[in-house]
Chains A and B, each alone.
Chain A
């Protein structure tokens, strides 16, 4: 029942932890880079979505 019995059988299991962290970190850096290259008008348009309705 204890998780350790299953997990310790996977050799080098810490690679999953490291790679998931790396994936997120690089993803986040990517988001930041693209954000600052984005088209200003598009962004303004999107921020007005709730206001453009007739309701």
Chain B
């Protein structure tokens, strides 16, 4: 048996590793800034590009796609070569992948700050960037599968199945959720509307968590933990079982983001049931990871890499118990729209994703530079700062979320709501401050890591191409005793790919198809009409400014919500909403029945300076809306695309749209004049006011009818 000599490519791992570290710091800085803005809104600098509504998506995209994305590629490129005992299939594809991804990140940063957004969480990037993501993802896939096909190790170790499932599912999720019709180069309307858009969005959103933030990192865990502990995984059987059950069950969990909303009941229940079932495969992964350390817990005390992994896996276990519990309707009733959800996200994000990334970097850098870590002491300091940071982040937000929710639901003995919305916000400002301290500590820890790694790199010498040797695969495989079923598929990566795709697709199709198929799932309401051209332009401004990051538009059928906001939201009200804007968080009040609540002048003053209408408000100011001219050149195209999407504007209406728009704008300018506000009718603020005055007005209690 001739042994073949070859080299592992460490250069590409180094490149992705540097990108991981850079975007860790960038993403955390954006997060810290966003966190500070909530209690100190003036730190938005009163510029459009740096308001919370734009910084928040910058933070989420930077952390998820730039930080964790590059972390995944670092770990996959390192581990896949060694698990397959071969160099990557194509160095050229490796570099196209690397530079392509970084260019996408640059495009994201620029476009998000400029306000080009689809208005869908974690899918904000507009269609040209979506196409770029698809192309780069395909390049990654070809490189990954090419490597697997030319491997010298016939069995696919468990980490590789996770990588395959990740690749397949992310491709499916991204393509389906990004389906849209372009209006201009940087603007599109999503193919879906209202309830369907909500379901597709959260099928995507939850599975972005599952297949971008969880499965690839589980894959990394299954490689780096055994390497760092020098022990095999506790139970290979368990890894097979939890892999298949995880990838099947996770897909169905999406509706747990939509409990007590206008989503059909059967879909909500499916989401809850499958989320509870998800505890088992998730904890299977956690236990497999922790039990791998049986007998080496003394090593954990010495090695920072292992410390980070233990906390990471524990936070994973915590978040994957908390998540399913939050999916119970009675708990969601309390937690939804509050900071409890933000806490939950960050236990997973800071604990699982962050700490696994740090562990991997602390492991890889000394290895690839042929040296020891510069300072174990600094790494330990980082560990403690990070851990305390996570606690200072999450615990105050648990308190804030729970107490705010209870305050919302409190009635006086006479049956009135006890607290104004703003009081519930002011009450939790101290928790917001503490949260930003926690996040700040976490960031300081990360910066210490950057210093430590830099010193390590300086003291070592980079091994760009690591020599290795292994025997090539036999074409004929002789059976060694009884082979189990699973070895069949482990040796057939393409089959693994196809079967994984089928498995994950089943959940999506089963949940989404019926809403498209059965008319009665989305009852139409006769009085609900399409937005006027001016309102449509105003809605696009609402989306652009990211208003949905602080305001929900979905009143749940609870006594306190109906008392505070008005009639609860019905599915049929949103049939023309491309995209839906139900929101996930109430930093500010729900806006679903805002139409007609306040005069036009109130909105004008409020957008210019929120504290003038709501003393003590933490909402940032939007003065540029009063100065910017409305882009009426886009009106005709917008109406045409809406018509293509099935919104029943009359034929030929697109040619009269601007006329209609100016008429409505002039009448708003008139009403503002009556309240002593002078503004030209063609300013953006007028369009936004038109939209705000329309929200939720179409239904009145007596007129609700279904077709």
A interface residues (Cβ-Cβ under 8 A, vs B)? 1-4, 7-8, 13, 16-17, 20-21, 23-24, 27-28, 30-32, 34-39, 41-44, 46-51, 53-55
Q: Which of A24, A28, A30 gathers the greatest number of chain B CB atoms within 10 Å?
A: A24
Interchain CB contact (< 8 A) of B513 among A7, A23, A35, A41: A7
Within 8 A of A (CB), among B475-528: 480-487, 490, 499, 502-503, 506, 509-510, 513-514, 516-519
Q: Using CB atoms, name the residue of chain A closest to B505.
A: A20
Interchain CB contact (< 8 A) of A24 among B157, B237, B248: B248
| 25 CB-based A-B contacts, threshold 8 Å | A1-B644, A2-B516, A7-B513, A7-B517, A27-B503, A31-B244, A35-B240, A35-B484, A35-B486, A36-B237, A38-B484, A38-B486, A39-B484, A42-B484, A46-B157, A46-B490, A47-B232, A47-B236, A49-B155, A50-B79, A50-B82, A50-B159, A51-B226, A54-B468, A55-B468
With the chains together, A48 CA to B233 CA distance in Å? Answer: 8
Q: Find chain A residues with CB under 8 A from B153 CB.
A: 49
Q: Find chain A residues with CB under 8 A from B233 CB.
A: 47
Asked whether A34 lies within 8 Å of B506 as measured between CB atoms, the reply is no
With the chains together, A23 CA to B498 CA distance in Å? Answer: 14
When A and B form their complex, which 5 residue pairs have the shortest distance between CB atoms, in order from nearest? A38-B484, A3-B516, A34-B485, A47-B232, A1-B646
* Bitwise interface map of B from 634 to 678 toward A, beta carbon under 8 Å scored 1, else 0: 000000000011100000000000000000000000000000000
Q: Is the interface of A mostly helix, strand, loop or mixed?
A: helix
Q: Find chain B residues with CB under 8 A from A21 CB.
A: 506, 510
Q: Find chain A residues with CB under 8 A from B506 CB.
A: 20-21, 23-24
B8 interface residue per 8 A CB criterion: yes
With the chains together, A25 CA to B241 CA distance in Å? Answer: 13
With the chains together, A32 CA to B486 CA distance in Å? Answer: 10
Q: Which of B486, B490, B502 gathers the greatest number of chain A CB atoms within 10 Å?
A: B486
Q: Find chain A residues with CB under 8 A from B509 CB.
A: 16-17, 20
Given the known interface contacts A48-B232, A55-B468, the answer about A39 and B482 at a Cβ–Cβ threshold of 8 Å is yes
Q: Using CB atoms, name the residue of chain B closest to A31.
A: B244
Q: Find chain B residues with CB under 8 A from A1 CB.
A: 644-646
Given the known interface contacts A1-B646, A42-B484, A55-B82, the answer about A35 and B241 at a Cβ–Cβ threshold of 8 Å is yes
10 further A-B contacts with Cβ under 8 Å, apart from A20-B502, A23-B506, A51-B227, are A1-B646, A3-B517, A16-B509, A17-B509, A36-B237, A38-B237, A38-B485, A47-B232, A49-B153, A53-B85
B302 interface residue per 8 A CB criterion: no
